[in-house]
Structure 1
Amino acid sequence: MKKDPVKTAQEILKAFGGKENVISATHCATRLRVEVKDASVIDEEGMKEIQGVAGYFSKSGQHQVILGTGFVNKVCAEFQKLAGVTAGDAEVTENGEKEKLSFQSTTKMISDIFIPIIPVLLATGILMGVRSLLVNGFGIELSPSFDTVFSVLTDTAYTFIPVLVAWSACKKFGGSPILGIVLGLMLVSPTLPNKWDVVNGVADPLSFVFGPLHLNITGYQSSVIPALFMGFFAAKLEKKLHQVIPDILDMLLVPFLTLLVSLLAGLFVVGPVLSGIEKGMTDLILMMLKLPFGIGGIAYGGLIQILCSVGMHHTVTPIIVSIFTETGVDYINPMGSAAIAGQLGAGLAIVMMQKNKQKRANMIPALIPALFGISEPVMYGLTFPRLKPFFMGCLGGAVGGGFAAIVGLCAKGTGASMIPGMLLYLQGGMIEYIIVLLLSVGVAFAGTWLIMKKNPEAV
């Protein structure tokens, strides 16, 4: 039976207690994320019975409904219409109080900023893989013109990542998205010396002397953290200016002052400091990933799905982007794929041990998205509810991630994982990547089979 996003959205809204109970709604790759005023009125059991809903859970005040890739976009759009809400910035609680800054709220904030950007990064990663397939797989020699076109397709998103981040951050914190876009464009303006040209000695930075202080200014190509903060700063400044500037001058002065103050602060104060912090963080993470005996890979491959289970996995996205833009390769990609493969292996064992044909048939669709890099359906539908298989999946991810770290495996692009991720290894590392996936699936499958065999009724 074909899934109806309108009907699904209507029933989900009803289960949440109606539009009066909904504060905000957004979505990630597979889940509808909703904040409500009163969680006690939610019909949790009814939610799980809705057609198209693969699961439901709540974490840190955010209620997440698992719908699957593609379908979640349609349901979220309909849900927002019916509830009369948008993603919102959720800065204020239903009691009118400022939401307290906490680890959970910080990770949610980062997730909300980067979730809208992820599809672009994923598309760019696949385009990198397609180029590699044509050149290295089929031996096609691209003409200079076609090579230039491919460079536009594969390089633009990462070169101008500050534009995307500033836009999303500005929108998240209640500012005008268009001001975020313009601010991001200013940070990567071709008038400024290109950061990478300065690093490579091809260009000189702009030099400013303020008494004893000497500042060298470059563009912020591929920078993430400075753009994120500048989007936040611009949004807060814009809202403050709206409060103090007379209405008759609002349209003229607010955008002018917002851009002027934000850009000057970004170029001369905040930007240089945060760029240094970003560089230090990137170097530290790279050092950890290269620890002996694959310790970094074991830790990442084993723990990332635990973060995913509570919706915090997008907090690593800025780190992944920073590492890729800094080094041109993605060391985290094979470890992340190992973690997904581990959940796939554990889920596969559960399906194969299920003796009820109807139940087994209902379980199989949860495995398929994992083949393409989406672990939530198999995790929430099969492994996590049984808990021990979930940890066997994490063990498989740790083994595969450790192997990837030991052999120094890295992707020549980013954004794609599992089967689509193979496109990123055509320039080298394909055999090692396949070994990582097989190791992760095999260890998780064997571990799950052994523990479930002792307790078959838990299947």
Structure 2
Amino acid sequence: MSENRKIAEELIEAVGGRENIDSVAHCATRLRIMVNDKEKINKAKAEEIDKVKGAFYNSGQFQVIFGTGTVNRIYEEMSALGVSESSKGEQKEKAKKQGNAFQRGIRTFGDVFVPIIPVLVATGLFMGLRGLLTQEYILGLMGLTPDDISENFLLFTEVLTDTAFAFLPALVAWSAFRVFGGSPIIGIVLGLMLVNPALPNAWAVAEGDAEALNFFGFIPVSGYQGSVLPAFIAGFLGAKLEKQIRKRVPEALDLILTPFLTLLIMITAALFLIGPVFHAVEAAVMAATTALLSLPFGISGLIIGGLHQIIVITGVHHIFNFLEIQLLNEFGENPFNAIITCAIAAQGGAALAVGLKTKVKKLKALALPSSFSAFLGITEPAIFGVNLRYVKPFVMGLIGGAAGAFFASLVGLAGTGMAITVIPGTLLYLNEQFLLYILANVISIGVGFTLTYLFGYTDKMKEEIDGGA
């Protein structure tokens, strides 16, 4: 019997047997098991299984952390053992009634924005690469000056860096229609209507180079380039409207009437009601975010860097995607990325300290790879498998995150993109900030590591918590 087959069998037993498993799916690092009876789960037994880096129950699922690569193999073995498979989307449908209304709302918000993130990551990397290639020092190494850069090359880089944000409402509306059960192609067209060149460009209006159209004497109308919330609300309502129209029109006319009425009603509502109202809401949220990030003396870093990973374990951190997108759209940089990078790196430092200090082979084999995962931007194995389990390492990691983020705020660190942090995140700082970014991470890791090594963990603490296991 292979090792992974044995692990799969032990895990099935730990969650109450095949009869207690409704379905199983997986993401990049976790096996997500939908169970029939939560009370039959033996969490302690599951965490003792080889290769398991932590386990917890959340959103109606028992989530077992294996890490990238390993999770795919365990999933295959469980499927081979006859456990019912399902997609993450199907599991989300089953789990969407779990938790309170706020948690469900945040999960749905995340479902809309997570698929958009890869193209925004690519855009951030393009921005970082353009910043690197246009630095005077880098150009000097190639025997060039800024005056030698051709207009055509700059235009090409603008296509790479500006497209995603120029058509952001189309991406958001597409994803919202997909999540809420509408036709994604209608969502794309609705989003494109919000940025139609026939409308005054939102950025030109903001800079005073163009004027918004005035309807009925009091409704200002312009494009919604880079806007998120109006497109999200329009996508949500549009998907619901499409389903209602489809139920009511004759099947023979569905192909003609459903998209026609959906787009007609929704673009009218979006331009004259949803857009103006929710653009104002969006502006207020952005003003509050900017005010927090602008607090003097590094206070914003202390607050956000110290609290971010607590928010992560509650599962509502996807709300930050919206804020980061808005920061990048409005300012072309993302100071939030630098702060949360420090919070993530510090948890990796704390897990590394546990791994180096412990003499327990199983914990060492868990903590060291978990710390490396955190340095790649994935903290779940470190948090749930090590730091939070023994509490003090997690707290020391919070302190380390606050210390590094304090420095990042003091020096004004800001990335060119979002969604990648720590080691991969260096690609967002390929400019004059590079050394400062490295230093912020070193501070975070160093403080988290040192505090944990000196005060945050002993094997005696493990014996008290795990009962000598």
What's the TM-score bracket when you normalise by the shorter of the two chains?
0.7 to 0.9
Distance 1:202 1:70 in 2: 52
Structure whose alpha-carbon radius of gyration is higher: 2
Specify the code of the residue in structure 2 equivalent to 1:133: L
Once the two structures are superposed, residues 260-295 of structure 1 have per-residue CA deviations (whole angstroms, 9 ceiling, x without a partner) of: 111111111011111111111111111111123322
Is the Cα contact below 8 Å between 1:47 and 1:53 reproduced in 2? yes
Residue number in structure 2 paired with 1:65: 64
Distance 1:163 1:351 in 2: 46
- 1:83 equivalenced with 2:90 (yes/no): no
Once the two structures are superposed, residues 211-259 of structure 1 have per-residue CA deviations (whole angstroms, 9 ceiling, x without a partner) of: xx42221111111111111111111111211222232322221121111
Distance 1:189 1:39 in 2: 50
Aligned-residue identity in percent: 42
Alignment of 1:329-348 (within 5 A): 329-348=333-352
- 1:355 equivalenced with 2:362 (yes/no): no
Specify the code of the residue in structure 2 equivalent to 1:232: F
Residue number in structure 2 paired with 1:256: 260
- 1:404 equivalenced with 2:408 (yes/no): yes
Specify the code of the residue in structure 1 equivalent to 2:133: L
Once the two structures are superposed, residues 42-67 of structure 1 have per-residue CA deviations (whole angstroms, 9 ceiling, x without a partner) of: 56567557776533211243443334
Deviates more, 1:385-394 or 1:36-45: 36-45
Residue number in structure 2 paired with 1:312: 316
Residue number in structure 1 paired with 2:158: 151
* 1:144 Cα offset (Å): 3.2
Is the Cα contact below 8 Å between 2:426 and 2:437 reproduced in 1? yes
Normalised TM-score (structure 2): 0.84
SS of the aligned residue for 1:170 comes to: helix
| Closer/same/farther in 2, CA of residues 50 and 374 from structure 1, 3 Å limit | same
* 1:362 Cα offset (Å): 4.3
| Closer/same/farther in 2, CA of residues 3 and 408 from structure 1, 3 Å limit | farther
State the Cα RMSD in Å. Answer: 3.5
Deviates more, 1:388-397 or 1:361-370: 361-370
Q: Which one of the candidate residues 379, 400, 409 is aligned to 1:375? A: 379
Residue number in structure 2 paired with 1:134: 133
Q: Which one of the candidate residues 238, 256, 270 is aligned to 2:274? A: 270
Once the two structures are superposed, residues 100-159 of structure 1 have per-residue CA deviations (whole angstroms, 9 ceiling, x without a partner) of: 861111111112222222222223222322333333373266543333333222222222
For structure 1, the residue ranges without an aligned partner over 5 or more in a row are none
Is the Cα contact below 8 Å between 2:26 and 2:71 reproduced in 1? no
Is the Cα contact below 8 Å between 1:18 and 1:83 reproduced in 2? no
Distance 1:248 1:78 in 2: 47
Alignment of 1:417-436 (within 5 A): 417-436=421-440
SS of the aligned residue for 1:409 comes to: coil
SS of the aligned residue for 1:87 comes to: helix
Residue number in structure 1 paired with 2:201: 194
Alignment of 1:106-117 (within 5 A): 106-117=105-116
| Closer/same/farther in 2, CA of residues 146 and 92 from structure 1, 3 Å limit | same
Specify the code of the residue in structure 2 equivalent to 1:121: L
Size of the alignment, in residue pairs?
Answer: 451
Is the Cα contact below 8 Å between 2:354 and 2:457 reproduced in 1? no
* 1:429 Cα offset (Å): 2.5
SS of the aligned residue for 1:65 comes to: strand
Is the Cα contact below 8 Å between 2:229 and 2:282 reproduced in 1? yes
Specify the code of the residue in structure 1 equivalent to 2:185: I
| Closer/same/farther in 2, CA of residues 454 and 99 from structure 1, 3 Å limit | closer
| Closer/same/farther in 2, CA of residues 84 and 420 from structure 1, 3 Å limit | closer
| Closer/same/farther in 2, CA of residues 166 and 30 from structure 1, 3 Å limit | farther
* 1:361 Cα offset (Å): 3.9
Once the two structures are superposed, residues 156-202 of structure 1 have per-residue CA deviations (whole angstroms, 9 ceiling, x without a partner) of: 22222222221221111111222222212222222322211121223
